[in-house]
Amino acid sequence: MSDAYLALEDGRVIEARGRSPGQTRGELVFTTAYTGYEESLTDPSYEEQVLTFSYPLIGNYGVREERFESDRIHPRAAIAHEFTEEVVEWLDSEDVPAIDHIDTRDLVTSIREEGAMKCGIAVGDDVTPADAEAQLAKCKGMSEHTEIGAQVSTVEHETYRGGGEADVALIDCGAKMSIVDSLNERGADVHVLPHDTTAAEVEELDPDLLFISNGPGDPANFGDAQALVEEFVGEIPLAGICLGQQVIARALGGTTEKMDFGHRGVNQPVRDLNTGKVIMTTQNHGYTVDEPGDLNVTQVNVNDDTAEGLENAELNVITRQYHPEAHPGPHDSLGFFDDVLGMVNGTEHKLVADD
C-alpha cells in the first residue's frame, strides 16, 4: 500500500489508502449503484471525472471484460470505501489512480450539499498533501474541455449487424455498447459513426434513423452532432439518449444548463406525464434540458422535475435523458428501443414499458 491524498475544492485534504499509483485531477462525482462497477468504470460519460462509489465494497464479483461498455476505463481516478484486489489490478493495468479506506458516505454528502467539485489526487510512496493540492490548482485553472468528443468517439465507421430490419446511424459522442446491443437485439443494423461525421457522410449512408448517443460533459461541445440534427430533422426519424437528448433539444431551439451534482445512479424515479406511471431509471449526466424548444416534455424526474423525456410526433423525434439500456440498472424503460424503431416502421409509441 502507498500513501494517498485527496484535495477538495472546499479546502479539505483527505488522507486515504493508495491502491493504484498516480497523480491526477478532475470533477468529483458519485454513483449510487450497488452493482455494475465494471460498466460504470468503462462508461465514456465519466471521461475527465473522478468517480466515487457510494456502495462500500467494489469488486465483490470480479472483473469480466464482456461487461465492459467500451474498450477502456474513462474516469481519471476511482474512489471507494474498499476495492478488492482484482479491481485494483485492473485499475493499475490502465494507469488509473485509485484510493480507498475513505468515508465515501461523507464525501457523497458533501457533493450533494455543495455540488460537484473539482479535486486533485496524489497516490504513491512519497506523495504529500501538497502534491494533491498542486493537482487541484491545475484543475481550477482548466477551462471546460471543448474537444472531449474526440477522446471518446470512434475514429472510423463501424457496423454491428442485427438482422437488417433497419439501418441506424448512431453518432458516437461516447456511446455505451449496450445501446448498440439493444438495437441489434431488435433486428437493426447499427452504423457507429464519429462524433464529427458530416451531413454528406450521413446522406451517403442513407439511414432509416439518426441516433445521437450519450457522452461526457457539456452538450455545447458537440456542435457537429447538433448540426446533423438541424440538417436532418423532419427528413428522417431522430432519437437520443442522455447527452443525445440535450444535443437534439439545443438543435431544435432549446437550452441546456449544468446541474449542481447531476443524476448518477440506478434509482432515479421518472414519471410519464401521459400515463402517470413511474419507472426507475439508470442515469449519468451533469447537464439537463432547461427549455425544450420545439419538443414536448413527456417525462419528468420525480425528485426535481427536470425533463427526462422529449418528443415531437410531427417531426418523428423521441429522446430520453436516462439510460433505457440500463447496464447496470432496472429494465423498466427497455421499451424505448421499440418506440424508436417504431418510428421507422410506423408503429405507435408505447412511451414506457409494459408491466
Rounded Cα gap, residues 225 and 215, in angstroms: 11
173 annotated active-site: no
**pLDDT tier for residue 350 given thresholds of 50, 70 and 90:** very low
Q: Report the pLDDT value the prediction gives residue 266, as an integer from 0 to 100.
A: 87
Residue count (the chain): 355
Please write down the HEC assignment for all residues of 6-62. Answer: EEECCCCEEEEEEEECEEEEEEEEEECCCCCHHHHHCCHHHCCEEEEECCCEECCCC
CA–CA separation, 176 and 216 (whole Å): 11
Selecting among 242, 285, 311, 327, the annotated active-site residue is 242
Known binder of ligand: residue 286?
yes
Strand blocks (E) in 203-295: 209-212, 238-241, 255-272, 278-291
Q: What is the DSSP string of 130-151?
A: HHHHHHHHHHHTPPPPS-THHH
Give me the residue label for grid cell 459522442: 173
- Percent of the chain topping pLDDT 90: 86
Residue 49 is assigned to a ligand binding site: no
Nearest partner of 310 among 323, 291, 325, judged by Cα: 291
Q: Annotation-wise, does 215 bind a ligand?
A: yes
333 has binding-site annotation: no
Cell reading at 53: 462509489
State yes or no: is 325 an active-site residue: yes
| Contact predicate 240/219, CB 8 Å | no
For position 354, what pLDDT does the model report?
A: 39
> Annotated catalytic residue: which of 74, 263, 323, 327?
323
- Give the residues across from 25 on adjacent strands: 120
Q: Which three cell numbers stand for residue 272?
A: 410519464
Q: What does the pLDDT look like over 250-273, one tens digit per residue?
A: 999 999 999 998 998 888 999 999
Exposed e or buried b for every residue in 270-281, given b needs 16+ CB within 10 A? bbbeeeeeebbb
Question: Given the C-alpha cell 418528443, which residue does it identify?
Answer: 311
Q: Which three cell numbers stand for residue 321?
A: 435523458
Q: How much is the pLDDT for 352?
A: 38
Q: Is the pLDDT of residue 246 over 50?
A: yes
User: Do residues 97 and 21 touch, judged by C-beta distance below 8 A?
Assistant: yes
| Residue 57 annotated as binding site | no
Distance CA 86, CA 60 (A): 9
Concerning whether 156 is annotated as a catalytic residue, the answer is: no
Q: What is the pLDDT of residue 297?
A: 98
Which residues, other chains included, contact 255 with Cβ-Cβ below 8 Å and sequence gap of 6+?
Answer: 249, 289, 290, 291, 293
Pairing state of beta strands 117-124 and 166-172? unpaired
Domain ranges of the chain: 2-140, 149-345
What SS3 state is found at 64?
coil
Q: Is 45 annotated as a binding residue?
A: yes
The per-residue pLDDT for range 104-131, each reduced to its tens digit, is 999 999 998 888 899 999 999 999 999 9
Q: What is the pLDDT of residues 33-83, one digit of tens each?
A: 889 999 999 999 999 999 999 999 999 999 999 999 999 999 999 999 999
Answer CATH for 149-345 from 1.10.8.870, 3.40.50.880, 3.30.499.10, 3.30.420.40: 3.40.50.880
Model pLDDT for residues 128-172, shown as the tens digit of each residue: 999 999 999 998 755 566 789 999 999 999 999 999 999 999 999
Q: Give me the CATH code for the 2-140 domain, please.
A: 3.50.30.20
What does the alpha-carbon distance between residue 25 and residue 217 come to, in Å, rounded to a whole number? 15
* Residue pLDDT, tens place only, 323-349: 998 777 777 888 899 999 999 987 543
pLDDT at 142: 58
Considering the candidates 38, 48, 69, 325, report the single residue annotated as catalytic: 325
pLDDT at 333: 82
User: Helix, strand, or coil here: 133?
Assistant: helix
Give the sign of the dihedral formed by CA 103, CA 5, CA 30, CA 192: negative
pLDDT confidence bin for 218, thresholds 50/70/90: very high
- Per-residue pLDDT, averaged over 95-100, amounts to 98
Query: Which pLDDT band, with edges at 50, 70 and 90, does 351 fall under?
Result: very low
Mean pLDDT for all residues in the chain: 93
